[in-house]
Structure 1
Amino acid sequence: MAMLGKRRPPRPASGHSGLARTPGGKAPHTATEDASPLVIERLAHDGRGVAHSANGKTVFVDQALPGEHVDVAVHLTRKRFDEAHIKSLLTTSEQRVTPPCPHFGHCGGCDLQHLNVDAQRAHKRDVVRDLFARQGITLKDIGSIQGDDQGYRRRARLGVKVDSQGNTRLGFRAAHSHRLVDIERCPVLVDSLQQLLTPLRELLGTLEAPRQVGHIELLATPTTQVVLVRQLKEHSQDAERWQAFAQHQQVALGTWLGRDTPTLHWNSAAPVLEELLVLDGQAPLSLSFAPGDFLQVNAQVNQQIVARVIEWLAPQPEQKILDLFAGIGNFSLPIAAAGAKVHAVEGNPAMVARIAINAKHNGLMVSGQQADLSDPGSVKQLLDEHADSDALVLDPPRSGGEAICQALARHPVAKVVYISCDPATLARDAAHLVHAGYRVKQVAVADMFLHTAHMETLVLFEADVD
């Protein structure tokens, strides 16, 4: 998604979690038969309850918790397992809570709000521990990086749809569906974005061509709020309405215009800035970014992750550190500010240029280059050229950094810090490192996506380097 605050690429089905939604063979079909009552045994990696029917078939039950007795209706049956939802909750887990959002159960944005926060965190640690165990790696202590349980999300993409009665809907997709759920409020959004929902809804109701609006992206930064409109076809009168909205709400406005190959029309003269506090007593770093650049959804937790990475690396003057998948410099600049010599590598040449700009703006020396970090040949050449590196930071997309971890077996680095948004590919890559002689020294799971089954995991690996 080449959009402001874009999400990382979707994760391909890995097969590690046993929850693939489109297994091979015949297409799944809906079922109306009941499979009840059931006892929920545990949570699957995606947060659904796991039970077994009388004939032993696995049943995944939406919004069910371990220990609960439930009457269910099977809504999808497959050869090896069924998917079901609760008809009646016969017994209730002590971990069950009232979801803070009125749209829970309809909106697909948050799927764990019925589970208390401490249990959510414990579940995610269990997922990481289980996936590593499947790779033959035993984890002992798993730390936690925690943030606020509401008002944490500074980035969101809202769908726009005009129904058959001409009513305009604004909201998020339902789970596993293209159906749009109209959202009046979203408790996980930061307050400044929450306050834009009603004005946006009112504006959409005044547009002459609301069907030409595909979606709206919102982003909150320390300096402003950004509204980015996906406009399928130009409409001059509606463009004027958007301009007036931006002035009245004092937001930065951008438009991706065009259906197939949209071009960006950016209406803000000032750069959009991210702020990072590096060390106590020092001024924060300012990182500029533009539509299309990746930015973590949770600023509070991201700050803590950066601090933890620096703590684990303990960078010293003259140390050489590689930062791979460096983005806009989220780790490169803080590590450089802590004293190390940093070489940042990105697949996107625009990001490499952005890192250089941000380093210069903050008075830091960070070298950078563009490289395809999924290509074994490019990775080998990179590690050959930087064989004297003291540490490596790896922050890949959901597909992971397999080519890098395989290459590190032949080009060992004393410390590797891996930041992952997908525990399955993390465990896969960890196996490459461990089999090559690296040791897992620290593990922490971060609250980057609280109330959802997604998680951010940090691992410190160490190796003996002659």
Structure 2
Amino acid sequence: MDLNAQGVAHRADGKVVFIDGALPTEWVSAVPAGRRKSHWEQAALTEIHRESSQRVRPLCPHFGLHTGACGGCKMQHLEPRAQVAIKQRALEEDFGHLAKVRAEHILRPIEGPAWGYRWRARLSVRHVAKKGTVLVGFHERKSRYIADMQTCKILPPHVDAMLMPLRALIASMDARDTCPQIEVACGDDVTALVLRHLEPLSAPDLQRLRAFAAEHGVQWWLQPKGPDTVHLLDPRGAAQLAYRLPEFGITMPFRPTDFTQVNPHINRVLVARALRLLDAQPHERVIDWFCGLGNFTLPLATRAREVLGIEGSPALVERAQQNFQHNQAQRGSGLPPLAATRFLARNLFEMEPAQLMADGVADKWLVDPPREGAFALVKALADIHQARLGAPDAPPLPEGAAGWTPPQRIVYVSCNPATLARDAGLLVHQAGYRCAAAGVVNMFPHTAHVESIAVFERAGD
């Protein structure tokens, strides 16, 4: 099975056939469909003659291969633990095939609730005048159309229960034709809904939103244009949107359009495991690359002597600094103060050895990049190592390089196993590290999304 939830079969001549909906070990009938290439083709499942023992009944009535099926999930027909095994295999294959790297130790997968986990979601909205209805939800599989969703079991139960009321709300509005999107952001105590609207909302529409908020206990945020225009409908007395990391005594305020992990249950475990693997000591300096709002930075400040958080967006750097100050002010009730912590804005996709050294020596790194990975950062580290080895094609060392030392340990959190594997290859083959451990994080059950974590240590340490 591949990560698109297609069963992988082989014809007698060796040609690979991808079959939507088929699971490993099953006997099925299928007919050619979709693309055909010289070495592979796609087929459509027509009948299952012998089911896999890992096939389960999908909980969601909108999941499946039928016309109009929701495309939000791909693996609901596969037992959740088997889904994790598929993702673990994908990570190991990417490491082996793309990087020629093998982790010395496979970490136990991080798993959590398979349902009601998605606290962040972007729901498309469309008024379908011909059918006299409004659709609110994800897109149909392999389609630009919105699925006719009446329920969604991966959303928190209280958000799932709002889908049909949201449809009725939009249908009642004057602006029903010019509201293309509702973004959902749940904190521990507050649920925010961001309404994208392409024209100013009328006074009656604003009142309809207020009545909905009062009935369902949510906050409305309005987005008339780009993300920087997002604002609370009624800011006076509004509760703060935030999530907690109780193991570290940290509270993280955020705006509904900020990047935060969609699965808070997994995020708490992920932060705790990342810090255990990094094992920052009270005398050590740590750099958190791609730090965002400080999801890892602030917990690190409860362990290390000094922490530097580096992020590409100046706006996020400012928000991270505010979160640090907020938490430092709250460190009463026997909690020790946070370590000295700074945040810097830096283009991490254009990192050079000189800039890397300018940010100072750190005992350990935590790296948590977007899907593009951390190639420039890792390449700068590799260039320094190759220059010190005297490699003929290595760039010259920057001035003052003699006193700079690379981190002893790197914990790399990834949302794309292919770019993690690429960066792992650089670290192991050109930067002087070994891959001590790696494993998957099932942040998105029932989907093809693979989150993972890997540990790199200086070779010889």
Q: Could you say which TM-score interval applies, normalised by the shorter chain?
A: 0.7 to 0.9
Q: CA deviation at 1:391?
A: 0.6
- Residue 251 of structure 1 aligns to which amino acid in structure 2? V
2:132 alignment partner, SS class: coil
Q: CA deviation at 1:165?
A: 2.6
Distance in 1 (alpha carbons) for counterparts of 2:168 and 2:257: 27
The equivalent residue for 1:219 is 185
1:375 aligns with 2:350: yes
Identify which of 31, 34, 39 aligns with 1:76: 34
Task: Pick closer, same or farther for the CA change 1:373–1:232 going to 2, 3 Å.
Answer: same
Unmatched tracts of structure 2, length 5 or more:
329-337, 386-405
Mean Cα deviation higher: 414-423 or 181-190? 181-190
Distance in 2 (alpha carbons) for counterparts of 1:143 and 1:204: 45
Mean Cα deviation higher: 455-464 or 48-57? 48-57
Identify which of 202, 208, 221 aligns with 1:254: 221
Distance in 1 (alpha carbons) for counterparts of 2:358 and 2:87: 38
1:128 aligns with 2:91: yes
What are the equivalent positions in structure 2 for 1:3-22 lying under 5 Å apart?
none
The equivalent residue for 1:90 is 49
1:242 aligns with 2:217: no
- Residue 102 of structure 1 aligns to which amino acid in structure 2? P
Q: CA deviation at 1:133?
A: 0.6
Distance in 2 (alpha carbons) for counterparts of 1:416 and 1:339: 15
- Residue 367 of structure 1 aligns to which amino acid in structure 2? R
Q: CA deviation at 1:247?
A: 2.6
The equivalent residue for 1:438 is 433
The equivalent residue for 1:232 is 198
Normalised by the length of structure 1, the TM-score is 0.85
Q: CA deviation at 1:367?
A: 0.2
- Residue 144 of structure 1 aligns to which amino acid in structure 2? P
After TM superposition, where is structure 1 displaced by more than 4 Å over at least 4 residues in a row? none
The equivalent residue for 2:388 is none
1:53 aligns with 2:11: yes
Distance in 2 (alpha carbons) for counterparts of 1:198 and 1:159: 14
Q: CA deviation at 1:262?
A: 7.5
Distance in 2 (alpha carbons) for counterparts of 1:465 and 1:319: 20
Distance in 1 (alpha carbons) for counterparts of 2:158 and 2:270: 23
Q: CA deviation at 1:59?
A: 1.7
- Residue 76 of structure 1 aligns to which amino acid in structure 2? G
Q: CA deviation at 1:309?
A: 0.9
- Kept in 2, the 8 Å contact 1:345–1:371? The answer is yes
Distance in 2 (alpha carbons) for counterparts of 1:340 and 1:100: 48
The equivalent residue for 1:417 is 411
Identify which of 286, 310, 320 aligns with 2:251: 286
- Residue 59 of structure 2 aligns to which amino acid in structure 1? P
- Residue 350 of structure 2 aligns to which amino acid in structure 1? D
Q: CA deviation at 1:152?
A: 1.1
Q: CA deviation at 1:141?
A: 2.4
Mean Cα deviation higher: 367-376 or 357-366? 357-366
Distance in 1 (alpha carbons) for counterparts of 2:46 and 2:370: 38
1:168 alignment partner, SS class: strand
Mean Cα deviation higher: 308-317 or 328-337? 308-317
Unmatched tracts of structure 1, length 5 or more:
1-42
Distance in 2 (alpha carbons) for counterparts of 1:367 and 1:98: 50
- Kept in 1, the 8 Å contact 2:189–2:242? The answer is yes
1:306 aligns with 2:301: no
Distance in 2 (alpha carbons) for counterparts of 1:464 and 1:424: 23
- Residue 158 of structure 2 aligns to which amino acid in structure 1? S
In the comparison of the two structures, how many residue pairs are matched? Answer: 417
Q: CA deviation at 1:55?
A: 4.7
Q: CA deviation at 1:340?
A: 3.5
The equivalent residue for 1:191 is 157
Identify which of 450, 461, 465 aligns with 2:445: 450
Q: CA deviation at 1:198?
A: 2.7
Q: CA deviation at 1:464?
A: 4.8
- Kept in 2, the 8 Å contact 1:193–1:219? The answer is no
The equivalent residue for 2:333 is none
1:96-124 deviations in whole A, cap 9, x for unaligned?
11111111121111101111111111111
What is the alpha-carbon root mean square deviation over aligned residues?
1.9
The equivalent residue for 1:182 is 148
1:376 alignment partner, SS class: coil
The equivalent residue for 1:337 is 302
The equivalent residue for 1:296 is 261
Q: CA deviation at 1:200?
A: 1.2
Task: Pick closer, same or farther for the CA change 1:406–1:101 going to 2, 3 Å.
Answer: same
Distance in 2 (alpha carbons) for counterparts of 1:287 and 1:142: 27
Q: CA deviation at 1:285?
A: 0.9
- Residue 252 of structure 2 aligns to which amino acid in structure 1? L
The equivalent residue for 1:396 is 369
Q: CA deviation at 1:400?
A: 0.5
1:274 aligns with 2:243: yes
Task: Pick closer, same or farther for the CA change 1:120–1:330 going to 2, 3 Å.
Answer: same
1:49-90 deviations in whole A, cap 9, x for unaligned?
111235543221111111212222333123232222211112
- Kept in 2, the 8 Å contact 1:373–1:404? The answer is yes
- Kept in 2, the 8 Å contact 1:160–1:168? The answer is yes
